[in-house]
């Protein structure tokens, strides 16, 4: 950082310095003051249904293992051996009795306890096994979403989520009576700062521009459903603590509410036909109306978006590199034909060969290439500032194409980075 410049000077309500994307010192500070002090999303419960199931994840740059132990408890453990620090587990997911270090075979239970040390006579009187379990993070679960924190004294997860809880509950209604499950994931990296991605999920403004080719590739009903640019009911709410929600399909905000006027999309004709063999018309309608997921993108600071029908999880790798995981969601125990259709919709937009995400990541790369030229030009986040209004509960509300969600995220960023939160 330039000597004499304070973090607070880099950010105003309507703009941020591009140093936020390029300064390695700021990145280090973010790892410490944001990722190590808040609740970070690590997994969804459906990824760990059985005892012994685990998946690996990251909290900031720290690799962690999320495991389900024999008593059904969920543990988030730092993925570093207590002997000389080797990583214990390098596969994305699996089922195990415990974790054994590849270097000298210290072995740990699913809850992180140090269980075994080969040739233990060399450690007599110099080592207490009970003191050398894997480092455990604090764990919080809300609606199947598993979060972890390095801060043992952090506020309860429910308080941190605050106003976002209502929207998480609404998001889960896309299960149409079935619990939500992760159907699969893919991951990719882009050459840009993590906050470029954080902004993107609440950026309705780019949608018809960057996603023109996607719009042109879908049926007219789907394109019409996502033509929210001039729809006054398409709004963004700030939800506090950096969280926000951007509503793109207002009639799908609460999928339990149905006034019966919406036509089911012709593209799902084959699904309707198949489901109608087993289900009442009302149930078929409920499932099919939820096929595209919820009608909104919910952005949870700092690292997960619940975006219509998938989770987008970001991991800061370095100041100019970010890994993204896209987790496609389906209905646990639900009709196979529905889960298959949902996967196809997901692939069509978010997949590696999809018509959506590759275009997004090109735009993110370009932002980073642009800001690399120097910090003299600020990043504007002022769209819709003049038309923001306060809702009764204090949320700031504006149009879905406005930058209210980004302003909320950056307000939290500033509060955490300056120790005001």
Please, which residue, 100 or 174, has the CB nearer to ligand FES? 100
Please, which residue, 270 or 369, has the CB nearer to Fe ion? 369
Tokens representing residue 58 in the block? 């990251």
61 makes contact, choosing from ligand FES, Fe ion, none, with CB < 5 to 8 Å by partner type, with none
Q: What is the nearest approach in angstroms of Fe ion to the Cβ of residue 303? A: 18
Q: What is the nearest approach in angstroms of ligand FES to the Cβ of residue 32? A: 25
Please, which residue, 66 or 294, has the CB nearer to Fe ion? 294
84 makes contact, choosing from Fe ion, ligand FES, none, with CB < 5 to 8 Å by partner type, with ligand FES
Q: What is the nearest approach in angstroms of Fe ion to the Cβ of residue 203? A: 7
340 makes contact, choosing from ligand FES, Fe ion, none, with CB < 5 to 8 Å by partner type, with none
220 makes contact, choosing from ligand FES, Fe ion, none, with CB < 5 to 8 Å by partner type, with none
Please, which residue, 129 or 332, has the CB nearer to ligand FES? 129
Residues 100/109, Cβ–Cβ less than 8 Å: no
Q: What is the nearest approach in angstroms of Fe ion to the Cβ of residue 354? A: 11
Task: Count, in order, helices (H) and strands (E) of the chain.
Answer: 13, 22
106 makes contact, choosing from ligand FES, Fe ion, none, with CB < 5 to 8 Å by partner type, with ligand FES
Q: State the residue number with the nearest CB to Fe ion.
A: 360
Please, which residue, 8 or 86, has the CB nearer to ligand FES? 86
Tokens representing residue 395 in the block? 């949320």
* Torsion from C-alpha of 142, 319, 374, 204, nearest 10 degrees: -30
DSSP 14-39: TEE-THHHH-HHHHHHHIIIIITTS-
Residue 332: closest CA among 55, 46, 67: 46
83 makes contact, choosing from Fe ion, ligand FES, none, with CB < 5 to 8 Å by partner type, with ligand FES
Residues 6+ apart with CB under 8 A from 74: 45, 48, 66, 67, 68, 139, 141, 146
104 makes contact, choosing from Fe ion, ligand FES, none, with CB < 5 to 8 Å by partner type, with ligand FES
360 makes contact, choosing from Fe ion, ligand FES, none, with CB < 5 to 8 Å by partner type, with Fe ion
Q: What is the nearest approach in angstroms of ligand FES to the Cβ of residue 378? A: 46
Dihedral of alpha carbons 276, 278, 284, 288, sign: negative
Q: What is the nearest approach in angstroms of ligand FES to the Cβ of residue 115? A: 12
**Half-sphere exposure (Cβ direction) of 315: Cα atoms closer than 13 Å:** 19
Q: What is the nearest approach in angstroms of Fe ion to the Cβ of residue 396? A: 22
Please, which residue, 113 or 286, has the CB nearer to ligand FES? 113
Please, which residue, 35 or 194, has the CB nearer to Fe ion? 194
- DSSP letter (8 states) at residue 94: E
DSSP 95-118: E-SEEE-TTT--EEETT--EEE-S
Residues 6+ apart with CB under 8 A from 383: 205, 401, 402, 403
Rule CB under 6 A: which residues touch ligand FES?
81, 83-84, 86, 101, 103-104, 106
**Separation of alpha carbons 6 and 3, rounded Å:** 8
Residues found in the chain:
421
Rule CB under 5 A: which residues touch Fe ion?
360
**Separation of alpha carbons 3 and 107, rounded Å:** 47
Please, which residue, 130 or 277, has the CB nearer to ligand FES? 130
**Separation of alpha carbons 372 and 21, rounded Å:** 9
Q: What is the nearest approach in angstroms of ligand FES to the Cβ of residue 129? A: 13
**DSSP run (H or E) holding 274:** helix 269-275
């Amino acid at each position: 950082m330039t000597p004499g410049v304070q973090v607070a000077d880099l950010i105003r309500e309507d703009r941020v310095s591009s140093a936020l994307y390029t300064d390695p010192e700021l990145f280090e500070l973010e790892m410490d003051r944001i990722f190590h002090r808040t609740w970070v999303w690590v997994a969804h419960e459906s990824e760990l249904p059985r005892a012994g199931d685990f998946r690996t994840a990251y909290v900031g740059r720290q690799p962690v293992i999320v495991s389900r132990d024999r008593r059904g408890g969920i543990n988030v453990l730092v993925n570093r051996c207590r002997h000389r620090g080797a990583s214990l587990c390098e596969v994305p997911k699996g089922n195990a009795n415990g974790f054994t270090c590849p270097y000298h075979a210290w072995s740990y239970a699913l809850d992180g306890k140090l269980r075994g040390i080969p040739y233990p006579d060399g450690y007599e009187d110099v080592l207490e096994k009970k003191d050398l379990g894997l480092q455990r993070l604090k764990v919080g679960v809300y609606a199947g979403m598993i979060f972890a924190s390095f801060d043992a004294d952090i506020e309860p997860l429910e308080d941190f989520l605050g106003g976002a809880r209502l929207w998480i509950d609404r998001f889960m209604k896309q299960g149409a009576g079935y619990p939500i499950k992760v159907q699969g994931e893919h991951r990719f990296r882009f050459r840009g700062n993590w906050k470029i991605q954080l902004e993107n999920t609440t950026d309705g403004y780019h949608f018809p521009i960057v996603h023109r080719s996607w719009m042109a590739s879908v049926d007219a009903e789907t394109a019409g459903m996502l033509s929210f640019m001039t729809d006054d009911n398409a709004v963004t709410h700030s939800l506090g603590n950096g969280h926000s929600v951007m509503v793109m399909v207002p009639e799908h905000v609460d999928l339990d509410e149905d006034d019966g006027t919406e036509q089911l999309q012709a593209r799902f004709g084959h699904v309707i036909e198949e489901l109608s063999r087993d289900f009442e018309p009302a149930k078929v309608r409920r499932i099919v109306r939820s096929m595209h997921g919820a009608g909104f993108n919910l952005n949870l600071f700092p690292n997960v978006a619940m975006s219509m029908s998938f989770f987008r999880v970001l991991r800061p790798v370095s100041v100019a590199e970010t890994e993204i995981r896209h987790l496609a969601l389906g209905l646990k125990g639900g009709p196979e034909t529905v889960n298959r259709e949902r996967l196809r919709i997901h692939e069509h937009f978010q997949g590696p060969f999809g018509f959506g995400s590759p275009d997004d990541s090109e735009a993110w790369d370009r932002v980073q290439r642009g800001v690399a030229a120097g910090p003299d030009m600020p990043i504007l986040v002022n769209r819709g500032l003049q038309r923001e209004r306060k809702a009764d509960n204090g949320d700031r509300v504006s149009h879905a194409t406005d930058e209210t969600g980004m302003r909320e995220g950056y307000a939290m960023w500033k509060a955490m980075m300056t120790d005001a939160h």
